[in-house]
Amino acid sequence: MKKTYRVLIALVLLTQITFAQEEQKTASQVNKATVFLNKAQINRDVKVSLKKGITTLIFNGLSPFIDVKSIQVKTAPSINILAVNHKKNYLNEIKKSEQVKALEEKRETITDKITLEITQSEIVSQNIDFLQKNKTIGGTNQTLTVNNLSQTATYYANQYKKLKLEELAIAKRLTNLREEQRKITREINTLSNNKELPTGEIFVKVETTKIENTNFEITYLVDNVSWYPSYDIKAIDINNPLEITYKANLQQNSQVDWNDVALTFSSDNPTVSGVAPELTPYQLSFNQRRSTTNNISYIKGQVLDKSGTPLPGANVSAKGTNIITMTDFDGEYALSLPNNTKIIQVSYLGYETQEKFVTNETLNFRLNPSSESLDEVVVVGYGNQKKASTVSSITSVGPKEVKVPNSNLTSMLSGHVPGLAIRGTTSTEDDNESSPLYIVDGVSVDKISNLTPEEIKSFEVLKDASATSVYGSRGSDGVVVITTKNGANAVTSINQTAVNFKIEKNQTVKSTVNVKEITLKTLQVPAEYQYYTVPKVNKSAYLTAKIKDWEKYQLLDGETNVFFDNTFKSKGVLDLEAVKEEIIISLGVDKQIDINRSPVTENVGQKFLSKNVETTRHWKVDIKNNKNQPINIQVLDQVPVSVTDEIKVEVLNISDAEMNSLSGELKWNLTIPKTTSKTLNIEYLVKHPKDKRLIID
């Protein structure tokens, strides 16, 4: 009997040894980063020594902002990847840098000095108060001599002077100390958001039949990394091409430094307009308010938290565009806006995103802390898994099998996947039969009966351990992973439309709220120069540069700094969504060209008929070229257009302008000789029922 027990104990110990799983912490470095407009793809390569059997590799010290659905792990074909999990480790929180610690100690020392100076100031103030309250010299029954009076006055004057000078010295020292304290606080806010964050960890369970030294490549997407393009546009004169310096403005605040990495910037969404204004159709209708245009092209302000502390590194953007900037040390920002921008959006790590309508040129924001928790632990259920690890538990169905003549996907699957219970259209809620987890184009869905076989590109069915190791308990009844033709095409189109810029030299980018500016390339771009004016909106003449065939330069939306004749002219925005055939860059206002638009009062007014009213309007546009050379100038104006049959508009005089009858836009392309003037007339008649109110400019 004892012998039997010994055998059983030996078997149990052998089983425990056989199935023991070793955990192995593995350090890795970022070797490549592809930065998108609002996140980045990180690549890490590391060589690992594996023992025979099952090992769980722990890749630690990663960013807490990993998009867990994007994690992919690649290794040699001989290594079976059993599971890939992710969690956030609060036992190994990201430590503040030594620089931040030193700054905090320095700030504490300064705070102590400020407290000491305030105490000294109170003592001096009390002494001054004591002197002032004891000005009476001697008692009422005492006889004062000249000597006594002189000595007392001298003592009082000397003491008062000494105390006042000390009071001034303390005030000066306090001012200097508080300024130094503010500077250090700004530096600390820049280096660290003062948030205790966890580290990210990726767990990779692998199995090998022998001892191996092999490479692992881990890729994933990480948030809190972004870039936006900007341009320096320089024109020497109107006889030379434009020089455009294309720059990437990178913010890397993933809490992990990138040291000597291969860096690529990518975008698939080029989406604002130059400084020069634009016309919108002038439509007439009854009981309307006077039309207004949002001409705010530049906005500034400050972003604070709930307590009033500045938030450096907050994202400030014109909503719906890629026009974005970051707040500085004091939480202040300035942003050039596309025409008719309506909403400004502000976002910051750990705070709720806030939006405000553009109502004036200064917008301040006060953000509330986000209610979302950072301590979520997530198990990856949508990453890659090697089929070789669990071949018997995976069934793949290719395009040929998909083409069977079944009217619905549920019945087709039931015929091709043995051992998997799939609920069809005939099932009821009372069925005890469990249904598998469906993943269609990476998204979990409740049913697939609405899909037809013709929509499917391919699918895989995971059962048993292969399902639960990746999808957890949700995969206990099996997992059906489907890729549709639409889903596959969507990925392809994104890749085809992406614009990629690979930086030739490796870069080191520290994790910080600061923006790092990197030059992508410098272009020499041929341009056609022309003056442009919209006197109804703005009585100024803008010098513009037109760029044709702009698609070949791979431009994206972004802020522009415009220079002409080696002089900074203005900030603007490049809005590719508004471009029709050519990009128009505004090079600023030329004050040597005078523009005026004024009403003509002669032979205009209202004429009342039996049922209608006829109103005549006449505008005059005067253009004077004060330059010593001729100019080419394009002038835009408009006449109203009717949107109802009850209103009739008759054009009387437009000085040979090109007219768009749908929008009412008037266009003149003029050549005006040096020191010469040109006058344009805009005259029209509006007829409408006299019992209805109509506002006519």
Q: What is the pLDDT of residue 231?
A: 93
Question: What is the band of 403 on the pLDDT scale with cuts at 50, 70, 90?
Answer: very low
Q: What is the pLDDT of residues 11-51, one digit of tens each?
A: 334 344 444 467 888 889 999 999 988 889 999 999 999 98
Question: What is the band of 287 on the pLDDT scale with cuts at 50, 70, 90?
Answer: low
Q: What is the pLDDT of residue 109?
A: 92
pLDDT exceeds 60 at position 558? yes
User: Which residue did the predictor score with more confidence, 631 or 7?
Assistant: 631
Sheet holding 365-367, edge to edge: 332-336, 298-305, 365-367
Tokens standing for 370? 């986000």
Q: Domains plus CATH for the chain?
A: 2-95+197-223 (2.60.120), 98-138+145-191 (1.10.287), 387-494 (2.170.130.10), 595-689 (2.60.40)
pLDDT exceeds 60 at position 125? yes
User: Which of 257-271, 328-342, 459-473, 509-523 has the weakest average pLDDT?
Assistant: 459-473
Mean pLDDT for the stretch of residues 605-615:
86
Strand partners for 394: 462
Helix axes 98-133, 146-191, angle to 10 degrees: 160
Question: What is the band of 452 on the pLDDT scale with cuts at 50, 70, 90?
Answer: low
How many angstroms separate the CA atoms of 578 and 340, rounded? 12
Q: Is residue 511 within 8 Å of residue 252, measured between CB atoms? A: yes
Mean pLDDT for the stretch of residues 168-187:
89
Question: What is the band of 272 on the pLDDT scale with cuts at 50, 70, 90?
Answer: very low
**DSSP at 469:** H
Q: Is residue 267 within 8 Å of residue 498, measured between CB atoms? A: yes
Tokens standing for 646? 């009850």
Question: What is the band of 621 on the pLDDT scale with cuts at 50, 70, 90?
Answer: very high
Q: What is the pLDDT of residues 199-225, one digit of tens each?
A: 889 999 999 999 889 999 999 999 888
> For residue 172, which phi and psi values (nearest 5 degrees)?
-65, -45
Tokens standing for 636? 């835009």
398 three-state secondary structure: coil
- Bridge-based pairing of strands 283-284 and 641-642 is parallel
Q: How far is CA 691 from CA 317, 530, 610, in A?
A: 47, 47, 11
Counting residues of the chain whose pLDDT is more than 90, the rounded percentage is 24
Between CA 200 and CA 204, with CA 203 as vertex, the angle to 5 degrees is 140
Q: Which residues contact 292 (CB under 8 A, 6 or more apart)?
A: none
Q: What is the pLDDT of residue 138?
A: 52
Q: Is residue 641 within 8 Å of residue 653, measured between CB atoms? A: no
Q: What share of the chain is helix, strand, coil (3-state, %, to 5)?
A: 20, 40, 35
| H or E stretch covering 74 | strand 66-74
User: Which of 54-68, 457-471, 484-498, 515-529 has the weakest average pLDDT?
Assistant: 484-498
Handedness of CA 348, 353, 357, 363 (dihedral sign): negative
Tokens standing for 415? 């015929």
Cβ neighbours, 10 Å, residue 229: 25
Q: What is the pLDDT of residue 671?
A: 93
630 three-state secondary structure: coil
Between CA 488 and CA 272, with CA 263 as vertex, the angle to 5 degrees is 70
pLDDT exceeds 50 at position 490? no
Average pLDDT of the chain to the nearest whole number:
77
Q: What is the pLDDT of residues 48-91, one digit of tens each?
A: 999 899 999 999 889 988 888 888 889 888 888 888 888 887 76
Q: Which residues contact 488 (CB under 8 A, 6 or more apart)?
A: 457
Per-position DSSP letters for 362-391, written without gaps between them: B--EEEPBP---S-------SS---GGGGG
